[in-house]
Copies of this chain bind each other. A is one copy, B any other.
């Protein structure tokens, strides 16, 4: 069973990265500088483009031991033999996705409130993406920001690892870990930054520093 390290979870954005090859470059730089998981998300792409890019990402990330997670497109994940799938509330239901991908691939589900949390299947889901914590410009259809307090209440109500998402910068890592999350997902904090390698390294350092002072229950790799 692969160790699940979601501490620094990069969600790629095709606009901020400039091109499919820009996404692959950004992903490689991030993975070489502390990112522990990478998600491909490109809602407006056709699937031929999805598959080509997923295969390039997989080739770049596998040697680094960093899992590639595909947003929404389960068929692309299967065709590219990606490491996992992440689905939102309007995508295929988690139970159907688990049936399609088999027992071994990662499955994450986006949750933004208690009602959505209650609908998460009791088995077959590996982690939750919870947000938006702060207002975000990279997902126009995201709901109102939860804030740290709202995030903490949701994280306390589930036994699943929680990855926080939405407007997160390195300065937030301490309070996010203290709120009980196991990882931070970022988009614009890495994608489109002048130096994605340096931006990734700064986030990784902030997480490591926060981890040293976090209560034991909040340790990133606990459990």
User: Which chain A residues have a beta carbon within 8 Å of chain B's beta carbons?
Assistant: 46-49, 51, 72-76, 78-79, 89-93, 96-97, 99-100
Contact = CB atoms under 8 A, between A and B. Distances in A.
Nearest to A99: B79
A91 B52 CA distance: 11
- A49, A79, A97: residue with the most chain B Cβ atoms closer than 10 Å: A79
A121 to B, nearest CB: 15
Q: How many copies does the complex hold?
A: 2
A51 B100 contact: no
B90 A51 contact: no
A74 B74 CA distance: 8
Given A74-B75, A75-B73, A75-B74, A96 B51 contact: yes
Nearest to A49: B90
Contacts of A93: 48, 51
A34 to B, nearest CB: 32
B100 A48 contact: no
A158 to B, nearest CB: 21
A120 B51 CA distance: 18
27 contacts: A46-B90, A47-B72, A47-B90, A47-B91, A47-B92, A48-B89, A48-B90, A48-B91, A48-B92, A48-B93, A49-B90, A51-B92, A51-B93, A51-B96, A73-B75, A74-B75, A74-B79, A75-B75, A75-B78, A75-B92, A75-B97, A75-B100, A76-B92, A78-B100, A79-B92, A79-B99, A79-B100
A220 to B, nearest CB: 31
A22 to B, nearest CB: 20
Nearest to A96: B79
A142 to B, nearest CB: 15
Nearest to A76: B92
